[in-house]
Amino acid sequence: MMRFLQISLLSLLLLSCKSYQIENAVSKESSVKEYKNLYFSDSKTDYVYKATIDVYGNQLSGIFIAKKINDTTHRVVFSTDFGNTLLDFELSENDFKINYIQEDLNRKIIVNTLRDDFRLLLRLSHPVQEVFENDESIIYKSADKKWFNYFFESKTDKRLTKIITASKSKEKIILGFESKNATFAHNITIQHKNIKLKITLNQITN
């Protein structure tokens, strides 16, 4: 019995210490030191989406607008279909300002999670530590505080298709993109693995 417990504890320890790896990906030599996500980079464009936020069994729907207001900062507004503002943020790599947030959303865990999600979604430049590849993608690994972001760029058309945020051992967030070109994503999903939060953005066209 003691030997069985020792083996079980050792197996559990090995599993918990297993490092995160992208399936079927191998290391690739590359001189790239910076990856740029161009999807929200144009200051002349208002990025307007029909948005749905599912959070802990509750669903909010409305209009999501992102606008690059200077070289480092974006403004994000999420409102109901009737024009009532639910949140209004200004954020950059190092700064974060709440212009308005509805009382029901004004919870620290929600605010911090949305801040980090939008910051990753909108940030232009990311330092690259390692590069990998699989059959479909070139994958750029970037350190982000205590996490790592993996940017999946399609080999066929050079478009960003996915971002995975992971710890050293497991996935935390998956961002998926469907894009018309390398500079505009018309469908975006943000799916959390450890909390019940999913954000869906679909471009509104005239």
Q: pLDDT tens-digit profile of 18-61?
A: 678 888 889 989 999 999 999 999 999 999 999 999 988 888 89
Judge whether residue 13 has pLDDT over 90: no
Question: How far lies 197's CA from each of 47, 89, 126, in Å?
Answer: 22, 19, 24
Report percent pLDDT > 70 for the chain. 91
Q: Angle at the Cα of 174 (from 75 to 205), degrees rounded to 5?
A: 50
Q: Between 98 and 14, name the one with better pLDDT.
A: 98
**Structural element, H or E, at residue 33:** none
Judge whether residue 10 has pLDDT over 80: no
Q: Angle at the Cα of 150 (from 146 to 155), degrees rounded to 5?
A: 170
pLDDT of residue 174: 97
Q: Angle at the Cα of 27 (from 21 to 28), degrees rounded to 5?
A: 145
Classify strands 46-55 and 74-79 as parallel, antiparallel or unpaired. unpaired
Judge whether residue 12 has pLDDT over 60: no
| pTM of this prediction exceeds 0.85 | yes
pLDDT of residue 21: 85
Burial 132-165 (b: 16+ CB within 10 A, else e): bbeeebbbbbbeeeeebbbbbbbeeeebbbbbbb
Using an 8 Å Cβ cutoff, are 163 and 79 in contact? no
pLDDT of residue 116: 95
- The CA distance from 131 to 142, in Å, is 9
Judge whether residue 4 has pLDDT over 60: no
pLDDT of residue 140: 97
CATH architecture of 20-203: Clam (2.50)
At a CB cut-off of 8 Å and minimum separation 6, what does 7 contact? none
Using an 8 Å Cβ cutoff, are 125 and 40 in contact? no
Tens digit of each residue's pLDDT (9 = 90 or more) over 130-188? 999 999 999 999 999 889 999 999 999 999 999 999 998 899 999 999 998 889 999 99
User: Average pLDDT over the chain, rounded to whole?
Assistant: 90
Q: What integer is the mean pLDDT of 52-73?
A: 92
Judge whether residue 72 has pLDDT over 70: yes
Both tokens of 198, joined, read 């999913």
Both tokens of 71, joined, read 């070289």
Residue 134 backbone dihedrals phi, psi, to 5 degrees: -130, -165
**Structural element, H or E, at residue 110:** helix 108-122
